[in-house]
Amino acid sequence: MMRTLPFTLMALLSVLVALLIGAHLNSVGGLNHAFASLFQTNWQSSRSVELSLTWWPRLFTTLLCGAALAVAGVLLQQVLRNPIASPSTLGIASGASFSLMLATLYAPWLMAFSQSLVALTGGLITMGLVFLLSWRRALSPTVVVIAGLVLNLYFSAFSTVLLMLNQEKLSGLMIWGAGSLVQTGWGNVTYLWPRILAAVLVALLFLKPLSLLELTESGAKSLGVSLTKLRFVCLGLAVLLTSWVVASVGVIGFIGLAAPAITRLMGIRRLLPKVIVSMILGALLLTLTDLLIQRLPDTVAMVVQTGAATAALGAPLMLWLLPKLAIRHQAQAETVLTRHNQQIHHLSKSAIVWTGGALLVGFCLFASLSIQNHGWQWLVFNGDWSLLEWRIPRLVAALLAGIMLAVAGTIIQRLSGNPMASPEVIGISSGIAIGLIITLYSGLASGLVGLYIGGLVGALMVMGLIVLLNHKSGFQPERVLLTGVAITALMNAVQSLILAGGDPRSYAFLAWLSGSTYYVKSQTLLPLAIATLLLVSIGFFLSKWLDVLPLGQATARSLGMNVSRSRLLLLLLAACLTVAATLVVGPLSFVGLMAPHLARLFGFSRARDHLIASSLVGGLLMLLSDWLGRQLLYPQEVPAGMVASILGGLYLMWGLRRL
């Protein structure tokens, strides 16, 4: 049965695509005429012009892009031995998008010169940075993925700031960011096909050593494969393929992840059929989506671009596939987490007192020192104490949110044994954002309370989804992560759809999304403080589990633990922490990822010490970020979440390089 499934699926997709193509061609004046237009433009007939300069090029561009992204996905997943690696995971798309933004704002002549060159350069530089950060570890899969993730977050943070400051100028780029396949000539096709063909041929040359990677790393090494060279070539090919596609049509989500995943699911093990089937699947999936979108009525088509639609359609598909996906337990022996065990530090009481003191002094300084209407002012001198009414709630909220996100992140990272896990990554934050978008756009509520409730409902639904999809596997870390990736993809898709539609309301949403303490009032502080105290103490109460669980299921069980139940409880706690923090400072403050990481880099690896250190780091980071954000571009405010990810990202990159 497994043998016939791939062919059935591909046949089904092909028939659907063929039907849609036939229906369209028939409706515009018959097949003969349509095929004639493919080869020659009849300038006398506007139908023929439309077909030959827009419709046919669009079809071929779509097929090419789908195939290219699928090959890039297969290469990445194979070489990184990671089922969730994809062109977007590694930051290539966001690097390209960031470079386009920079060029639009600061060097428009570059955009006039060649837009695709700018995007390509951005993608290549991003990948270069990923290589640079992971070079010392011989491009080890885990480090490459983490480096990609960090750069991804970094560029998204910067892009969001630029977008907030320049929404009018950048509105065109939003369409590109949602991946529109509209064509007005054969330029993209002639640009893409020779390049993609060459890249695929080179990839085929490396198939044999690549398939050896299926074995363990040492196995591949003993067979005489130069791992570094192999990884370099294959990652490079994947970047080129992705950048070409991104440069010519924009960001197309999910094909690079979904096509190889479906292929794997169909039980295809050998690499050559895997590449070919993925290519066909990728091409068909993208084309099918695009053909369907072209048939949408005008009002809907206006806001739905293909790239974002594939992501939106692909995410539920991915969620449905998840329980069926056989994930080999990855050996976590190599992860960053365990590498620091050589230098365990213990927290002494005096260190905690000192850090706490620093936090207090910092708080007072941040509350009193700031740029005002007439330049830098210190409240002690000018006596304008009424301004504290605005500053203190924001600083307190930032501090509390930082602590909660840090604790949530620590729990999730220890639980999954995965240093790239965090509330943002497992999708809770995205769930909140989706809930918020729906509340805002359906007109259910525009007030603050309504938005909060919407966000809460979103978070709970995502948590339900995580539990539903993962309880059978006992909350296996990789599966939980995959769920998060799918939900995040869905959120990104919804977000780019909204931004591409050009609705001016979307910028109010963007402002919230970027994680600002702007909307905090003194009334919201008390519930927040209670929530922090309660949830964080539960976290410390459960810290014993956090020591045992990373040792592995067998060890945990032999110590008399119910592994599934404790995982579920900890996950629930992390979710509650995230909801409480996110409702105040927005979903994109990457503190939950960075604070535990930084605490690790300092060498605190026992659960209790780890929790304390990371919450101190998280609190301080958010405090500093909130203050800096209000000074940097005064009177414009850069949201605290953005500043935190820009600051922390730098440090994280430095830490990665040192690994």
Partner 1 sequence: MKRTFSYLLLLSITFTTHFAVAQEREMKVAAIDWTQIETLLALGVHPIGAAQIADYNAWVKSPAIPSRTVDLGLRTQPNLERLAELKPERIFISPMFQSLTPQLSRIAPVTNIALYKKGDVSWQAFKTYTQTLAKDTHREAAANSLIQSAQATLATLSKQVPAHTPPLLMMQFMDARHVRVFGTNSLYGIAAQQIGLQSAWHRQTNKWGFSLVGIDKLLGVKGQIVVIEPLPAGVEANLRQDAFWQYLVKQTGHPMLKIPPVWSFGAIPSTVRFARLLTTAIHQESK
- Binding residues for partner 1, rule: CB under 8 A, are 43, 46, 49-50, 53-55, 103-104, 108-113, 115, 164-166, 168, 171-173, 175-176, 180, 182-185, 298-299, 301-303, 370, 372-373, 384, 386-387, 390-391, 446-448, 451, 500-505, 507-508, 510-512, 516, 518-519, 521, 630, 634-637, 639
In the complex, minimum distance from the CB of residue 577 to partner 1, in angstroms, rounded to a whole number: 25
In the complex, minimum distance from the CB of residue 373 to partner 1, in angstroms, rounded to a whole number: 5
- Identity of the residue, 26 or 636, whose beta carbon is nearer to partner 1 in the bound complex: 636
- Identity of the residue, 391 or 600, whose beta carbon is nearer to partner 1 in the bound complex: 391
CA distances for 279 relative to 89, 110, 257, 460, 630, angstroms: 19, 33, 12, 37, 48
Residue 622 CA to residue 229 CA, distance in Å, equals: 41
- Identity of the residue, 314 or 393, whose beta carbon is nearer to partner 1 in the bound complex: 393
In the complex, minimum distance from the CB of residue 439 to partner 1, in angstroms, rounded to a whole number: 11
User: Exposed (0-12), middle (13-18) or buried (19+): which is 245, by Cβ within 10 Å?
Assistant: buried
As a whole number of Å, the end-to-end CA separation of the chain is 46
Which residues, 6 or more positions from 297, have their beta carbon under 8 angstroms from its beta carbon? none
Of 479, 469, 484, the residue nearest 432 (C-alpha): 484
Residue 659 CA to residue 638 CA, distance in Å, equals: 31
In the complex, minimum distance from the CB of residue 338 to partner 1, in angstroms, rounded to a whole number: 42
- Identity of the residue, 61 or 615, whose beta carbon is nearer to partner 1 in the bound complex: 61
Residue 53 CA to residue 47 CA, distance in Å, equals: 10
In the complex, minimum distance from the CB of residue 181 to partner 1, in angstroms, rounded to a whole number: 9
CB atoms inside a 10 Å sphere around CB 305: 29
Strand 369-372 and strand 375-378: the pairing is antiparallel
- Identity of the residue, 252 or 548, whose beta carbon is nearer to partner 1 in the bound complex: 252
In the complex, minimum distance from the CB of residue 67 to partner 1, in angstroms, rounded to a whole number: 22
- Identity of the residue, 290 or 478, whose beta carbon is nearer to partner 1 in the bound complex: 290
The phi-psi region of residue 346 (left if phi > 0; otherwise alpha if psi is between -120 and 50; otherwise beta) is beta
**Dihedral, CA atoms, 153, 155, 161, 167, nearest 10 degrees?**
-120
Q: Can you read off the two tokens belonging to residue 629?
A: 């954000």
- Identity of the residue, 232 or 518, whose beta carbon is nearer to partner 1 in the bound complex: 518
- Identity of the residue, 258 or 646, whose beta carbon is nearer to partner 1 in the bound complex: 646
In the complex, minimum distance from the CB of residue 146 to partner 1, in angstroms, rounded to a whole number: 32
Residue 510 CA to residue 501 CA, distance in Å, equals: 13
Of 172, 90, 163, 93, the residue nearest 133 (C-alpha): 90
In the complex, minimum distance from the CB of residue 518 to partner 1, in angstroms, rounded to a whole number: 5
- Identity of the residue, 103 or 577, whose beta carbon is nearer to partner 1 in the bound complex: 103
In the complex, minimum distance from the CB of residue 199 to partner 1, in angstroms, rounded to a whole number: 25
In the complex, minimum distance from the CB of residue 372 to partner 1, in angstroms, rounded to a whole number: 6
Residue 474 CA to residue 470 CA, distance in Å, equals: 6
In the complex, minimum distance from the CB of residue 108 to partner 1, in angstroms, rounded to a whole number: 3
Length of the chain: 659
- Identity of the residue, 172 or 316, whose beta carbon is nearer to partner 1 in the bound complex: 172
Helix (H) or strand (E) holding 369: strand 369-372
Residue 496 CA to residue 179 CA, distance in Å, equals: 9
CA distances for 245 relative to 59, 93, 117, angstroms: 14, 10, 12
Q: Can you read off the two tokens belonging to residue 93?
A: 């798309």
- Identity of the residue, 507 or 651, whose beta carbon is nearer to partner 1 in the bound complex: 507
| Phi and psi at residue 371, to the nearest 5° | -75, 135
